[in-house]
Amino acid sequence: MGRYLLRRLLQLVPVFIGTTFLIYWLVWAVPGDPFAGKCGERRCPDQYIAFMTEKYHLDQNVFVQYANYMKNLLQGDFGQTFSQREISDIILTSYPNTLKLAVVALAIEAIIGLGAGVLSGLRRNGFLDNLVLVSTLFLIALPVFVVGFVLQWLLGVQWGIIKPTVSSEMRWSELIVPGFVLGSASVAYIARVARTSIAENRRADYVRTAIAKGLPMRRVVGVHLLRNSLIPVVTLLGTDLGALMGGAIVTEGIFGINGIGRQVFRAIITKESATVVGIVVVLVLVYLVMNLLVDLLYAALDPRIRYE
Amino acid sequence: MSDILVSEQSAPGPGGSGRPSGRLLEVDDLRVEFRTRDGVAKVINGVTYHVDAGETLAVLGESGSGKSVTAQTIMGILDTPPGFVTGGQVRFHGKDMLRMSDEERRRIRGEGIAMIFQDALSALNPVFTVGFQIAEQFRVRRGMGRAEAKKRAIDMLDQVKIPNAKGRFNNYPHQFSGGMRQRAMIAMSLALDPEVLIADEPTTALDVTVQAQIMDLLAELQRERQMGMILITHDLGVVADVADRIAVMYAGRIVEEADVYELYAKPAHPYTLGLIDSIPRLDEKGQQLRTIKGLPPNLMNIPPGCPFNPRCPMAQPVCREKVPPLLQVGPARASACHFAEELVNRV
């Protein structure tokens, strides 16, 4: 297990360098003057332009720029926005909100998705199974913004059950509906994967053995069947967590949550290249770590992978 | 190992009703059909056999003859759908298991009747250690603590002669060799001291040298524990050393039942005769292998009369009209052939 972990960690290094370079290159390669409109109506003062050009090595090629950027980054310096605000500040204030929303969405995906999947997989072609199939198809077909706006309007405006937007305190109870919106499509996918997996393994020889051992049905399903069926579901949940932590531009936008998704969206619109790169680098890192965790969890669930 | 015998006696039979004079386990006129999209396959058409404590019954037959389905019905692990029991009884200590509650049947599994499967690799759960899967029974069924269950599980691995049982406890099934896996499977099935052990082709997936070892082990354990054993196989060679009685199945019926020596010496059914004739013999070198001509019948469309008649070298017009019942043709032997008497009486 130790060697497996080390190998996986080493694999992260080239992936991290490759992805961050691509992002850096792409963001700064966007055509247009980075100083356009930065100083209000007037053209920016030459002094400011010279200062910024110097600071970001804008007169040098992209490799030198990237190397300098990484050097600072490794020392924990994300740089500043054009208005001299610390980028790390932006990330630190908005990222916890995104994480909170991601955790709620993941919990909803795991509980509803897995629950519906297991129940429908055990009773294939029953009423519940058909209900799950139809409702998941519905969720998959609907774009997130439709689900978001409809629920916000229905629950928040028409019926007044929830507040239409999330307050800045980000209470957990306020996040349930946004979390569901964010996880809605994934809930459906997880339910379907779990259903197939359960139904497939239900007829496996080892399940028959477990029954033949005289174990109670509860244990046959809850221990023997579930543990094997969870493997594909966990993979899906894990990769989804990586995506959830990447921020949710649409959901955060609808419910007015100050998350990383909104920040990156704003930065792209205003051509705050340093901010975009800074945030995306963090997101890449989170995504890679999440993927590693999934693989480790995968190995923990399936010993045949561990010993390869 | 004698303590096992003692502990077995002390536990009352899980069947409940004490022990009436009857058999330990009997299958009586069992009928099972598979309802599929293409039609109804009559897989078991009135199977009757029994097994008593301390004896081994071999159930012999080609693939598709219904021998495994009968075993699955006894164990209550028949896949429903497509399989449905349409008639007959399975009596354990005289009580019909097919009419018991699910909970009552569950209690018999493992403790009253246990089963070994053909392919131990797929029959063992790949994500749990072998030790866990054996200890699980002691914990769930006997309420033992972790440490005690582990001790008992290691003891079981020892009994099936797995070297370094203690070290192997934490291994996963894929880390075992084929033979060791089947031993672990046997250890698991015997953990709760079952009165009847059903072994469904226990050696088919193994290579020949290991086959013999596993059969020896099974025979030894059966003798020590005085279990009733049902050995399902298509291999006549395996049967000869181990079984006391043999029941031959064809198209979901028992066509012949006899003591093992009598059956080999004088088969009372042309199908059995064909099977024995098709065993390769050392003293007939250079001869072509004899086979039974034709194919087993389509179970969705079993021929009228004796189901074996299209392949039978002795077939007469009567065979195409009347299904021969399984009748006594001597002391403790029976055959379902219109010409059984002639077969037995020939020199």
Q: What is the pLDDT of residues B108-164, one digit of tens each?
A: 998 999 999 988 889 999 999 999 999 999 999 988 889 999 999 999 998 888 888
- Tell me the β-bridge partners of B60: B233, B248
Of the partner residues A203, A212, A302, the one whose CB lies closest to the CB of residue B109? A212
Q: Please, which pLDDT band fits residue B17 given cuts at 50, 70 and 90?
A: very low
pLDDT recorded at residue B125: 92
pLDDT recorded at residue A250: 87
Digit-coded pLDDT (tens) for A121-136: 888 888 888 999 999 9
Q: How far is B124 from chain A (nearest CA, A)?
A: 5
Q: Please, which pLDDT band fits residue A307 given cuts at 50, 70 and 90?
A: low
Q: What value of ipTM does the predicted structure carry?
A: 0.84
| Range list for CATH 1.10.3720.10 in chain A | 89-305
Digit-coded pLDDT (tens) for B272-321: 888 888 877 777 666 777 788 888 888 888 888 888 988 888 888 888 88
**Does A57 score more than 80 pLDDT?**
no
Q: Please, which pLDDT band fits residue A302 given cuts at 50, 70 and 90?
A: confident
Q: Please tell me the distance from the alpha carbon of residue B136 to that of residue A137, in angstroms, as a whole number.
A: 40
Q: What is the mean pLDDT of residues A264-291?
A: 85
Average pLDDT, chain B: 85
Angle at B108 between CA B75 and CA A217, to 5 degrees: 75
Would you tell me which CATH number, out of the four given (1.10.3720.10, 3.40.640.10, 3.40.50.1820, 1.10.10.10), belongs to the domain A89-305? 1.10.3720.10
Q: What is the mean pLDDT of residues B25-47?
A: 90
**Does B1 score more than 60 pLDDT?**
no
Task: Flag if A307 and B123 touch (Cβ within 8 Å).
Answer: no
Q: Percentage of chain A with pLDDT > 70?
A: 95
Q: How far is A271 from chain B (nearest CA, A)?
A: 51
Digit-coded pLDDT (tens) for B48-93: 999 999 899 999 988 888 899 999 999 988 888 788 999 888 999 9
Residue of A nearest to B135 (CA): A213
pLDDT recorded at residue B129: 92
Q: Which residues of B touch A303 (CB under 8 A)?
A: 126-127, 129, 172, 174
What are the helix and strand counts (H, E) for chain A?
Answer: 15, 0
- Inter-CA distances, A106 with A34, A75, A191, B2, Å: 38, 32, 13, 56
Of the partner residues A212, A216, A301, the one whose CB lies closest to the CB of residue B77? A212
**Does B199 score more than 50 pLDDT?**
yes
pLDDT recorded at residue A47: 82
Q: Please tell me the distance from the alpha carbon of residue A44 to that of residue A42, in angstroms, as a whole number.
A: 6
State chain A's maximal CA–CA distance in angstroms.
83
Of the partner residues A212, A215, A307, the one whose CB lies closest to the CB of residue B140? A215
- Inter-CA distances, B67 with B49, B228, B251, B253, Å: 11, 17, 10, 9
Task: Flag if B137 and A213 touch (Cβ within 8 Å).
Answer: yes
pLDDT recorded at residue B5: 36
Q: Please tell me the distance from the alpha carbon of residue A175 to that of residue A259, in angstroms, as a whole number.
A: 13
**Does B9 score more than 70 pLDDT?**
no
The H or E element containing residue B175 is none
